[in-house]
Amino acid sequence: MGGCCSKGDVGNGGGLAWREEEGDDDFHEEEGSRRMIRHGGSCRYASMYSQQGWKGVNQDAMTIWEDFGGSKDEIFCGVFDGHGPLGHRVACHVRDVLPSKISTGLRSLEELEDDDGVANCSGDADKWLSAARKDVFVKAFEELDEELGHSSSIDCICSGSTAVSVVKQKEHLIIANLGDSRAVLGTRDDKNQLVPLQLTVDLKPNLPSEEERIKSCRGRVFALEEEPDVHRLWMPDEDCPGLAMARAFGDFCLKAFGLISTPQVTHRELSERDEFLVLATDGVWDVLSNKEVVKIVSSVSKRSEAAKHLVQRAVKAWRSKHSSSKVDDCAVVCLFLKHISSSSNVVGDNGDLSTLESFKTARSQSSNSEEMMAEETKEEWTALEGLSRVNSLLKLPRVARVFSWRKKSVSLDEEHKE
């Protein structure tokens, strides 16, 4: 059995669904990404979809890695929400690099545990997520953020990205969250009713622990009068940039004032009651409740259409609930946890692509036009008026301050090297 994909138009809102299919024993490896697509012993199923909002280039990105790290029992899912002038490039870079870092760290840890004869605690859910496993995720996130800070190809001073990622290892989920994207589990309660279980916390600046850290670093947290329910992170002596989250990749103009790239890492042991997992950017959660999302996903006739249907419902909700606001970008990954037989009708009518081709397309959404749209995006950010709550970042710092920050950072790096 091998992987078979179907895909929509990923650039302007497209999706990826895949199924197990008989007769495909080929092994695919995408060069340079360490993404392994090969026949698996278990039948996994997922759908993914993203749609551009009304702000310009789609800054959301998403990915699914089947047979993560070469293991048949593992899968990686992630959604990434960029913000700022070059947020789309940050989100795409994180999408492409973060899974490899996590995979390398987990493989190294497993080799070390095997060499030391350390038990994996598979029978003890409380001990399964060890400090060492947590450290793998924290290190991957923080190393990637540091690399972004030294990157000459992407200016991340006032651009960044959230990330919510999940690694499924047999009956275990490891969830790593940075920012305000969200992971929600569709599960059955004691009455066999399908209910939502939120697996992550939206890391907003006004959360007590986040606000305390920010203020201890001289950052400020407050909401504007015109959007009293949206608390933002501001620089000490200038009302900018107004970031609507407390943790993110990039945004180095705020890293000295309380913004961090350390993810919250949690664990859940799956049970027979758990049916599916939804990862989505805040464009979905801003207008749909967890309960509504679970109901929408569970009601689709074809699971391959779940993510697309959810995004379309979110866009409709934006138009009805916030008619004066710009619709936000939306990205969704749905991972179904129940066994799907190979005879199930899970692929739509768009036609099949090879697994490798479809994954490449999903990973590189809008990549062909990124460079062309980068300058347009910068112009949009300087020209936008009447910004609404859909913007994660409100105002860019003064140019003089940005250059001063960069010069100071370079000087500190040089001193450290000496």
Q: How far apart are CA 8 and CA 29, in angstroms?
A: 22
Q: What kind and span of H or E run contains 105?
A: helix 87-116
pLDDT at residue 72 in the model: 77
pLDDT at residue 6 in the model: 32
Peptide linkage before 263 cis (omega within 30 of 0) = no
Q: How far apart are CA 360 and CA 79, in angstroms?
A: 16
pLDDT at residue 120 in the model: 55
In 3D, which of 4, 174, 36 has the Cα closest to residue 106? Answer: 174
pTM to 2 decimal places? 0.76
Neighbours of 213 (CB within 10 A): 17
pLDDT at residue 22 in the model: 34
pLDDT at residue 235 in the model: 94
What would the DSSP string read from start to end of 171-207? TEEEEEEESS-EEEEEEE-TTS-EEEEE-S----TTS
For residue 383, report the phi and psi dihedrals to the nearest 5 degrees. -100, -15
Grouping H, G, I as helix, E, B as strand and the rest as coil, residue 327 is: coil
Domains and CATH numbers, the chain: 2-201+265-366 (3.60.40.10)
pLDDT at residue 339 in the model: 57
pLDDT at residue 350 in the model: 33
pLDDT at residue 89 in the model: 94
pLDDT at residue 324 in the model: 63
Neighbours of 413 (CB within 10 A): 12
Residues β-bridged to residue 249: 161
Mean pLDDT (10-residue bins), the chain, 418 residues: 33 39 36 32 64 82 86 88 92 95 90 63 60 93 96 90 94 94 96 96 96 97 91 92 95 96 95 95 91 94 88 87 76 82 35 33 40 43 41 67 49 49
pLDDT at residue 184 in the model: 97
